[in-house]
Amino acid sequence: MDERELIGSLSRMLDAAATADDCAAVRHGGEWLVLSTDMLHETTDFPAGMTDPEIGWMAAAVTISDIAAMGARPMALLLAVGLDRPERLTGITEGALACCRAYGCDLAGGDTDAHIELTIVSTGLGAAERVVRRSGARPGDLVCVTGYLGGAQAALSGCDRFRQRLIAPSPRVAEGLALNAAGATAMMDISDGLALTLHDMLAVNACGFAVETARLPLPAGVPQDEGRAFALFGGGDFELLFTIPPDRFPVAGVAATVIGCVVAERAVTVDGAPLPARGYMHRWAE
Amino acid sequence: MDERELIGSLSRMLDAAATADDCAAVRHGGEWLVLSTDMLHETTDFPAGMTDPEIGWMAAAVTISDIAAMGARPMALLLAVGLDRPERLTGITEGALACCRAYGCDLAGGDTDAHIELTIVSTGLGAAERVVRRSGARPGDLVCVTGYLGGAQAALSGCDRFRQRLIAPSPRVAEGLALNAAGATAMMDISDGLALTLHDMLAVNACGFAVETARLPLPAGVPQDEGRAFALFGGGDFELLFTIPPDRFPVAGVAATVIGCVVAERAVTVDGAPLPARGYMHRWAE
């Protein structure tokens, strides 16, 4: 059973909306509050050789990215840390605090515990007048991504010049807010790779997504075939995938690339052929 | 290094307020939002023999109790679950959902992951016009607890008739709201035992707490000496400890007992002698 099947079984128990977006959204004080929680384990989620401050930064960044993907402003972050060695907490907190400060978020509290393996759960709170969900795409909208794709996977495959991109992700907070204000119709972050992300969007929209490999913004200096594979199937990039009506694009202050368009047929295609739902995914032994 | 020393080192890096209460509190929409996160591991936090729904209930209850301890209403809960076996998620979610529903809280989302040992992090969001903090006690206030003390420890010590109290804690949500409205001056929950809780209150107040063993509400049918030890030092009870001016007590709808009073001298005493800061605590090998 993989993570998406598990979440499918949960959504039958919970309100479907609870599992359909990067964040849960609840109304309060005339706005939407958005909430996201991410569990990370040392051996499966953090590339080898990361320092404790780098681990703390990444734990905060993945959650802030989920808030950014709703087009919301981050307000507060909580960190629950299961520590294999208590002295690691200081470095982890320093890194998380630096990331929070960089994105205007308050590191507001947390919990600690002893644990065999370092385990970090970061939970974030954000707010927005209007949220951009995964659903909402309409045929004719452009399909776009911020920044470029495949850099984190290039680093995992040995290109050391992309290492910072892998270990110190920059959540697209300002971009998410600008895209929200500009009228993006659907949005999510690409941390599991473009192919899986497009299929996640497909699952909650009544339309499909047609992308073209020639348009994909690739990691510089990587051979083209490899770069395209990294861009489609590689995980660890924290860019935003969004759809937006053509007359609303480009958006001032947002570096983004059109990679395709929203189509009526409910399928994800690349250069006209079906794009497999493949990429980074948690998987348990069957 | 124990958990309180760790949290002390964190509070030097963060705003001291971030570590001083059961929840972090941030302003939004004319109210306080309160946020709490709790990390629980199967071997250290859940008594042996609990079913998955019981585990899910408890994970939700400990976090809802933190919200109750601020005098806030629970709004939303997120559950991050590191699963040793994926099929456990359904039972855990059922239990958490039942607890959320019992306390008017929305189980709004979560995250899942594979893990060697079952690990659950529940994070809760609540709201209140005014929050009751751990600080705020004033000499002359009454020191009170809801319900009774020592039941969970009695169950841990083999009294099976207290087992439900241990494995299915009832957070005091309605009581917390009523005590807030009635003007309680300080409040926190007693999950680590009365002695440690009083010392946590001492750390953030400019006054002290004098309690009397004869006034402690004890688990029925347990020999008195044992009952008093359970009440002072036993963990796992999710009652509220609060201080309140004498003219505001009792509070309609809140079953509570006066166990002492707030005094000018900064010390915790029981029957006039110092009460050691002893009880349930996470501790790492030095």
pLDDT of residue B11: 60
pLDDT tens track for A152-183? 999 988 899 999 999 999 999 999 999 999 99
B115 touches chain A (CB under 8 A): yes
Q: What is the pLDDT of residues B36-84, one digit of tens each?
A: 999 999 888 888 889 999 999 999 999 999 999 999 999 999 999 999 9
pLDDT in tens, B225-241: 999 999 999 988 999 99
Cβ(A147)–Cβ(A194) below 8 Å: no
Domain annotation covers residue B210? yes
Asked, for residue A135, whether it belongs to a domain, the answer is no
Query: What is the nearest CA distance from B138 to chain A, expressed in angstroms?
Result: 26
Residues B48 and B111 in one domain: yes
Query: B114 touching A, CB under 8 A?
Result: yes
Candidate from A17-26, A71-80, B56-65, B212-221 with smallest mean pLDDT: A17-26
Q: What is the pLDDT of residues A7-45, one digit of tens each?
A: 666 666 665 555 578 899 999 999 999 999 999 998 888
E-strand ranges in B190-250 read 208-211, 240-244
pLDDT at B286: 31
Among the partner residues B78, B82, B119, nearest to A35 by beta-carbon distance? B78
Q: Do residues B83 and B163 both lie within one domain?
A: no
pTM: 0.90
Q: Report the gap between the CA of B140 and the closest CA in chain A (Å).
A: 31
CB-CB under 8 Å, A29 with B31: yes
Cα–chain-centroid distance for residue A113? 27
Residue showing tokens 């920044």: A147
- Touching check for A123 and chain B: CB below 8 Å? yes
Are A89 and B9 an interchain contact pair (Cβ–Cβ within 8 Å)?
yes
**Taking 80 as the threshold, does the pLDDT of residue B114 lie above it?**
yes
pLDDT of residue B283: 43
Q: What does the pLDDT read at residue B9?
A: 62
CB contact (8 A) between residue B28 and residue A127: yes
If you measure CA to CA, which chain B residue comes closest to A118? Answer: B115
Confidence at residue B92, expressed as pLDDT on a 0 to 100 scale: 96
Please indicate whether, in this complex, the C-beta atoms of A121 and B39 are within 8 angstroms of each other: yes
Its domain, for residue A36, covers: 22-128
Residue A16 lies in a domain: no
* pLDDT band at B8; cut points 50, 70, 90: low
- B157 has a pLDDT exceeding 80: yes
Residue A93, pLDDT above cutoff 60: yes
Strand order in the sheet with B31-41: B24-28, B31-41, B119-128, B73-83, B106-114
- Residues 11-30 in B contacting A (C-alpha not used; CB under 8 Å): 13-15, 18-19, 23-24, 26, 28-30
- Residue-level pLDDT at B1: 52
Which pLDDT does position B7 carry in this prediction? 61
pLDDT value of position A283: 43
Nearest to A50 by CA among A180, A225, A167: A167
pLDDT at B14: 63
Sheet holding A73-83, edge to edge: A24-28, A31-41, A119-128, A73-83, A106-114
Confidence of residue B100 (pLDDT cuts 50, 70, 90): very high
Could you say which of B86, B106, B128 is where a domain stops? B128
Residue A242 within any structural domain of the chain: yes
The answer to whether position A281 is within a domain reads no
Q: Which of B254, B262, B6, B277 is nearest to B140 (CA)?
A: B262
Cβ contacts of B166 within 8 Å, gap of 6 or more: B47, B151, B152, B155, B156, B236
Strands B186-189 and B256-263 turn out to be unpaired
Instruction: Check whether residue B67 and residue B94 sit in a common domain.
Output: yes
- Provide the percentage of residues in chain B whose pLDDT is more than 70: 91
What local confidence, expressed as pLDDT, does residue B279 receive?
84
Dist. CA A178–CA A192, nearest whole Å: 23
Decide if B100 contacts B133 (C-beta within 8 A).
no
Who wins on pLDDT, A24 or B5?
A24
The domain boundary residue, chosen from A95, A128, A161: A128
Q: Read out DSSP for B117-162? A: S-EEEEEEEEEESS---S----TT-EEEEES-SSHHHHHHTT-GGG
Please give the share of chain B, as a percent, with pLDDT higher than 90: 80
Q: What share of chain A is helix, strand, coil (3-state, %, to 5)?
A: 35, 30, 35
Predicted pLDDT at B174:
98
Q: Provide the pLDDT for residue B10.
A: 62
Nearest CA in chain B to A115: B41
Looking at the fold, whether A99 and A148 belong to one and the same domain comes out as no
The CA distance from B87 to the nearest CA of chain A, in Å, is 9
- What is the structure's pLDDT at B282? 44
- Give A207: exposed, middle or buried? Use CB within 10 Å, 0-12, 13-18, 19+: buried
**Count of domains forming chain A:** 2
Same domain for A151 and A77: no
Please name the member of B3, B19, B30 whose beta carbon is closest to the beta carbon of A109: B19
Note whether A230 and A187 are same-domain residues.
Answer: yes
Same domain? For B123 and B209 the reply is: no
Could you give the angle at which helices A224-233 and A194-203 cross, rounded to 10 degrees?
40
Here the CATH number for the domain that contains residue B44 is 3.30.1330.10
Phi, then psi, of B274 in degrees rounded to 5 = -60, 135
The residue among A3, A6, A65 with the most chain B CBs within 10 A of its CB, best to mutate, is A6
Same-domain status, A165 and A218 = yes
Q: Please indicate, yes or no, if residue B255 is contained in any of the structural domains.
A: yes
Q: Could you tell me if residue A270 is inside a domain?
A: yes
Q: What is the pLDDT of residue A192?
A: 87
What is the average pLDDT across B130-140? 97
Least CB–CB distance from A114: residue in B35, B94, B282: B282
Domain identity same for B198 and B155: yes
Residue A219's domain is classified under what CATH number?
3.90.650.10
Indicate the range of A82-91, B15-24, B170-179, B198-207 predicted with least confidence. B15-24
CB pairs under 8 A between A and B: 202
Best residue of A97, A119, A133, A286 to probe chain B, by most B CBs closer than 10 Å: A119
Q: What is the pLDDT of residue A10?
A: 62
User: B30 contacts in A (CB within 8 Å)?
Assistant: 29
Say if residue B37 is in the same domain as residue B122: yes
Q: Does a structural domain hold residue B209?
A: yes
Token couple for B7: 């949290």
Answer yes or no: are the C-beta atoms of B213 and B271 closer than 8 Å: yes
Among candidate residues B76, B241, B140, B248, the one with its CA nearest the CA of residue A18: B76
Per-residue pLDDT, A22 = 81
A164 with A211, same domain: the answer is yes
Decide if B36 touches A, using CB distance below 8 A.
Answer: yes
* Chain A residues near residue B87 by CB distance under 8 angstroms: 1
Predicted pLDDT at A185: 98
- Tens of pLDDT, residue by residue over A206-242, are 999 999 999 999 999 999 999 999 999 998 899 999 9
pLDDT bin (cut points 50, 70, 90) of residue B15 is: low
At A43 the pLDDT is 85
Domain boundary (A80, A101, A128) is at A128
Which letter does DSSP use for residue A2 in this model?
A: B
Cβ <8 Å between B39 and A82: yes
